[in-house]
Amino acid sequence: MNLNILWFLLIVVLFTGFFFLEGFDYGVGMLLPFVGKNAEERAIIASTIGPFWDGNEVWLLTAGGAMFAAFPNWYATMFSGFYLALLLMLVALIVRGVAFEFRNRDPRPAWRTFWDWTIFVGSAIPGLLWGVALANLIEGVPIDAHMNYVGGFFNLLNPFALLGGLAFVAMFLLHGAIFLTLKTEETLLARAQVAARRIWLPTVILIALFIGSGYFVTSVFERLGVNPGIAPVFAGMALLVAGWLIRGKHFGWAFIMTGITIVLSAATIAIGLFPNVMISSLNSTWSLTIYNASSSPYTLTVMSIIALTLVPFVLAYQAWNYWVFKQRIGHAQALAAHE
């Protein structure tokens, strides 16, 4: 394995970890105004992701930094071409972070309601835009011979990409609802269980429509063929099994199944793209690959040494964080967290 392939895999792993962790994070944020019927219940829901949400976003920052260092041409083309969409996502994430800090600064219901809906918007927009971005990556975008994106913002909002965005939102909602069943008690637990049951079928339908339409609009799914391999087949099976587990109230296993669906779906996209990182819809020879978009071998070597040294410490810290805050959140814990 050469370093170009290694760093492509590492970036895929970083984005996969981000979607797995931030997926339930976004889902909880989107469910906050609906599952929580009053200020106290919404405080409990916010507390379920309070210790995690900012740490989860580190995976995105690390993935972006790795992309910048390992594949600067990919970074430049993607971040310039998707500039407005990524700016909108960044603003939504900033406002979302502010909302978590500000919602408890004033006890007035109107104040808290405003910030609760801000958390909803700040969770829904990134979830939608990540689906739109990945759908565009596999469909192809207008890139010229000089690796420049030559389309506009509305080129990105095509029907296939919007369907991908809705599929991502649904998947994150399901992942988040199941997470809430593992972190809440009594009334909120019952509502989260109902939400998970209701969200599962629309999620299956949207993902099936996204995959089905993908065979008509992109060569990535054509390359996978009728028998696409273990990753996408197991991803679909895991999602179907999750529905059965939800109905049987085995929510711990259901969370594992939705996690497997997200991980294997990300792997499927990576397999379909490889060795491309961005497909040109104008000319396939103008596509960005792990070779023409990469840094020098020396840069990749130095980065590999740094990554192998530091990443284990980051993983250990995050695992410790989830272990420490593994308990369910009730009224007393929510009050203590927001004092």
Matching residue, tokens 């996408």: 232
Asked if residue 97 has pLDDT above 70, the reply is yes
Domain tally, the chain = 1
The pLDDT, as a whole number, for residue 199 is 96
Contact yes or no for 53/25 (Cβ under 8 A): yes
Task: Work out the number of other CB atoms within 10 angstroms of the CB of residue 248.
Answer: 10
Which pLDDT tens digit goes with each residue over 314-330?
888 888 888 888 787 76
Which pLDDT tens digit goes with each residue over 18-28?
999 999 999 99
Contacts for 88-97 with beta carbons within 8 Å, 24 or more apart? 88/125, 88/129, 89/125, 89/126, 89/129, 89/130, 92/121, 92/122, 92/125, 92/126, 93/57, 93/122, 93/126, 95/121, 95/122, 96/29, 96/121, 96/122, 96/123, 96/126, 97/53, 97/54, 97/122
Q: How far apart are the first and last CA of the chain?
A: 52
Contact yes or no for 145/286 (Cβ under 8 A): yes
The pLDDT, as a whole number, for residue 263 is 94
Neighbouring C-alpha atoms within 13 Å toward the C-beta of 135: 30
Average pLDDT over residues 50-57: 83
The pLDDT, as a whole number, for residue 227 is 60
Among 94-98, 235-239, 248-252, 327-331, name the one with the lowest average pLDDT. Answer: 327-331
Tokens of 274: 């490889």
The pLDDT, as a whole number, for residue 75 is 93
> For the chain, what is the radius of gyration of the CA atoms?
20
The pLDDT, as a whole number, for residue 212 is 87
The pLDDT, as a whole number, for residue 217 is 84
Asked if residue 119 has pLDDT above 80, the reply is yes
The pLDDT, as a whole number, for residue 206 is 96
Tokens of 284: 């396939």
Residue 163, helix vs strand vs coil: helix
Average pLDDT over residues 200-227: 83
Give the C-alpha separation, 34 to 194, whole Å.
12
Give the C-alpha separation, 186 to 313, whole Å.
37
Tokens of 118: 């801000």
Q: At what angle do helices 53-70 and 72-81 cross, to 10 degrees?
A: 120
Contact yes or no for 317/52 (Cβ under 8 A): no
Asked if residue 226 has pLDDT above 70, the reply is no
pLDDT band per the 50, 70, 90 thresholds, residue 209: very high
Q: Percent of the chain beyond pLDDT 90?
A: 57
Among 51-65, 181-195, 286-300, name the one with the lowest average pLDDT. Answer: 51-65
Among 96-100, 187-191, 330-334, name the one with the lowest average pLDDT. Answer: 330-334
pLDDT band per the 50, 70, 90 thresholds, residue 186: confident
Residue 80, helix vs strand vs coil: helix
The pLDDT, as a whole number, for residue 332 is 57
pLDDT band per the 50, 70, 90 thresholds, residue 331: low
Closest alpha carbon to 59 in 240, 266, 200: 266
Q: At what angle do helices 230-247 and 251-273 cross, to 10 degrees?
A: 160
Structural domain boundaries enclosing 159: 3-337
Give the C-alpha separation, 113 to 30, whole Å.
14
Asked if residue 336 has pLDDT above 80, the reply is no
Query: What's the pTM?
Result: 0.91
The pLDDT, as a whole number, for residue 25 is 92
The pLDDT, as a whole number, for residue 334 is 53
H-only helix segments in 103-185: 109-139, 159-183
pLDDT, mean over the chain: 89
Asked if residue 283 has pLDDT above 60, the reply is yes
Q: Percent of the chain beyond pLDDT 70?
A: 94
Average pLDDT over residues 125-140: 93
